[in-house]
A and B are shown apart, each in its own frame.
Chain A
Amino acid sequence: MSETTVSRRGMLKTGVAAGAGVALPTIFTASSAAAYTNEPTGSTVTLGFNVPQTGPYADEGADELRAYELAVEHLNGGGDGGMMGTFSSKALQGNGILGKKVEFVTGDTQTKSDAARASAKSMIEKDGAVMITGGSSSGVAIAVQGLCQEAGVIFMAGLTHSNDTTGKDKKANGFRHFFNGYMSGAALAPVLKSLYGDDRKAYHLTADYTWGWTQQESIAAATEALGWETVNNVLTPLAATDFSSYIAPVLNSGADVLVLNHYGGNMVNSLTNAVQFGLREKEVNGKNFEIVVPLFSRLMARGAGENIKNIVGSTNWHWSLQDEGSKAFVKSFGTKYGFPPSQAAHTVYCQTLLYADACERAGTFNPCGVAEALEGFEFDGLGNGPTLYRAEDHQCFKDVLVVKGKENPTSEFDLLEVVEVTPAAQVTYEPDHPMFAGGNLGECNPGA
Chain B
Amino acid sequence: MDAILLQILNGLDKGSAYALIALGLTLIFGTLGVVNFAHGALFMIGAFCAVTLNKILTLSREIVDETRTDFLGNPLKVKVPYVEGWFGPELGAAIIDWSVPLAILFAIPVMIAIGYVMERGLIKHFYKRPHADQILVTFGLAIVLQEVIKYFYGANPIPTGAPDAFRGSFDFGVLLGFDPNVIIYPYWRLVYFVFAAIVIGAVFAFLQFTTFGMVVRAGMADRETVGLLGINIDRRFTIMFGIAAAVAGLAGVMYTPINSPNYHMGMDFLVLSFVVVVVGGMGSLPGAVAAGFLLGVLESFASYSPIKNFFETYLFLPSIDQIIIYLVAIIILLTRPRGLMGRKGVMED
Residues on A facing B (Cβ under 8 Å)? 54-59, 208, 232, 234-235, 237, 239, 241-242, 244-246, 248-249, 251-252, 265, 268-269, 272-273, 276-278, 281-282, 284, 299-300, 302-307, 319-320, 330-331, 334-335, 339-340, 410-411, 413-414
B142 shortest CB reach to chain A, Å = 15
A239→B268 contact, CB < 8 A: yes
Chain B 154-166, CB-CB to A under 8 Å as 1, else 0, gives 1111110100000
| Beta-carbon nearest neighbor of B182 in chain A | A252
Once A56-B155, A268-B260 are accepted as A-B contacts, the answer to whether A251 and B181 lie under 8 Å apart by CB is: yes
B169→A277 contact, CB < 8 A: yes
B residues near A248, Cβ cutoff 8 Å = 6-7, 9-10, 184
- B243-268 with Cβ < 8 A to chain A: 258-260, 262, 264-265, 268
Give the docked Cα–Cα distance between A282 and B71 (Å): 36
Give the docked Cα–Cα distance between A165 and B128 (Å): 53
A residues near B168, Cβ cutoff 8 Å = 276, 278, 281
B residues near A277, Cβ cutoff 8 Å = 169, 184-186
Name the one of B7, B185, B189, B262 contacting A265, with C-beta atoms under 8 angstroms. B262
Stretch from B109-117, B282-290, B298-306 contacting the other chain: B298-306
Question: Which of A278, A300, A320 has the most chain B CB atoms closer than 10 A to its own CB?
Answer: A278
B13→A303 contact, CB < 8 A: no
| Beta-carbon nearest neighbor of A308 in chain B | B159
Give the docked Cα–Cα distance between A235 and B303 (Å): 10
A24 shortest CB reach to chain B, Å = 37
Give the docked Cα–Cα distance between A234 and B169 (Å): 23
| Beta-carbon nearest neighbor of A53 in chain B | B155
Give the docked Cα–Cα distance between A306 and B188 (Å): 16
B308 at the interface (CB under 8 A from A): yes
Chain B 41-71, CB-CB to A under 8 Å as 1, else 0, gives 0000000000000000000000000001011
Give the docked Cα–Cα distance between A300 and B154 (Å): 12
Name the one of B169, B304, B319 contacting A208, with C-beta atoms under 8 angstroms. B319
Once A248-B7, A248-B184 are accepted as A-B contacts, the answer to whether A302 and B156 lie under 8 Å apart by CB is: yes
B3→A249 contact, CB < 8 A: yes
Q: How many residues of B contact A (CB 8 A)?
A: 49
- B224-243 with Cβ < 8 A to chain A: none
B residues near A303, Cβ cutoff 8 Å = 156-159, 260
| Beta-carbon nearest neighbor of A267 in chain B | B157
Give the docked Cα–Cα distance between A303 and B161 (Å): 11
A288 shortest CB reach to chain B, Å = 13
Name the one of B2, B72, B319 contacting A331, with C-beta atoms under 8 angstroms. B72
A59→B154 contact, CB < 8 A: yes
A245→B11 contact, CB < 8 A: yes
| Beta-carbon nearest neighbor of B308 in chain A | A234
| Beta-carbon nearest neighbor of B65 in chain A | A410
15 additional A-B pairs beyond A245-B300, A268-B159, beta carbons within 8 Å, are A56-B262, A56-B264, A208-B319, A241-B259, A242-B258, A249-B3, A249-B304, A251-B184, A276-B169, A277-B184, A303-B158, A304-B260, A320-B71, A330-B71, A339-B71
B residues near A234, Cβ cutoff 8 Å = 305, 308
A25 shortest CB reach to chain B, Å = 32
B97 at the interface (CB under 8 A from A): no
Give the docked Cα–Cα distance between A303 and B169 (Å): 21
B3→A272 contact, CB < 8 A: no
- B299-328 with Cβ < 8 A to chain A: 299-301, 303-305, 308, 319, 321-322
B47 shortest CB reach to chain A, Å = 12
Can you offer 12 A-B residue contacts whose CB atoms are under 8 A?
A57-B155, A237-B319, A246-B303, A249-B304, A252-B3, A272-B259, A277-B184, A282-B184, A284-B181, A300-B156, A335-B72, A411-B71
A residues near B169, Cβ cutoff 8 Å = 276-278
B76 at the interface (CB under 8 A from A): yes
- B15-32 with Cβ < 8 A to chain A: none
B residues near A268, Cβ cutoff 8 Å = 156-157, 159, 260
B150 at the interface (CB under 8 A from A): yes
B204 shortest CB reach to chain A, Å = 26
Give the docked Cα–Cα distance between A57 and B264 (Å): 12
B residues near A340, Cβ cutoff 8 Å = 71
Name the one of A252, A269, A320 contacting B157, with C-beta atoms under 8 angstroms. A269
A278→B157 contact, CB < 8 A: no
B39 at the interface (CB under 8 A from A): no
Give the docked Cα–Cα distance between A335 and B321 (Å): 48
Give the docked Cα–Cα distance between A268 and B261 (Å): 10
Give the docked Cα–Cα distance between A59 and B264 (Å): 14
Give the docked Cα–Cα distance between A319 and B184 (Å): 38
Once A56-B264, A272-B159 are accepted as A-B contacts, the answer to whether A244 and B14 lie under 8 Å apart by CB is: yes
| Beta-carbon nearest neighbor of A61 in chain B | B155
Name the one of A246, A282, A330, A410 contacting B68, with C-beta atoms under 8 angstroms. A410
What are the 3 tightest A-B residue pairs by CB atom distance, in nearest-first order?
Answer: A305-B159, A58-B155, A245-B303
B residues near A320, Cβ cutoff 8 Å = 71
Once A58-B150, A276-B188, A305-B260 are accepted as A-B contacts, the answer to whether A245 and B182 lie under 8 Å apart by CB is: no
A residues near B185, Cβ cutoff 8 Å = 277
Give the docked Cα–Cα distance between A378 and B184 (Å): 52
